[in-house]
Structure 1
């Protein structure tokens, strides 16, 4: 006997916030990891938004705290990426000077 897993349902506000993060320059991979959403799903949301067909599911709205948490997670992810780039650049320049 096989038990089907229940599909996650995301509100329109959640989807719009995820799409906004991608439009603001974050990669699909970073945003999907931050928000715990499959990358292909996020790609579909961005595509649907571009076409004006993005709709939400469910009736439970996302609280302001959840929106803020998602935004902060995305910002932390972006800052970690910037820090890694800076560390690599510093190591490269230190190697050049020696």
Structure 2
């Protein structure tokens, strides 16, 4: 069976998702619109608030 590769996200993409949530959009709807798991969006929000949001490691 083949391994499913992890998706690579740019810092700009992550920041866009975080800004939408911070501006009042529901985190579930932002995640759905951007093709993310809701938990991924929550993790990015938490990291952003801690000042630790970074681009994904790997090949873009």
TM-score scaled by length of structure 1: 0.57
Q: C-alpha offsets along residues 61-85 of structure 1, whole Å, 9 cap, x if unaligned?
A: xxxxxxxxxxxxxxxxxxxxxxxxx
The residue aligned with 1:5 is: 4
Higher RCO (C-alpha 8 Å, min separation 6):
2
Higher gyration radius (CA): 1
Off by >6 Å, runs of 4+ in structure 1: none
TM-score scaled by length of structure 2: 0.91
Contact 1:11 1:59 in 2 (8 A): no
Structure 2: any 5+ residue segments left out of the alignment?
A: none
Larger proportion of helix: 1
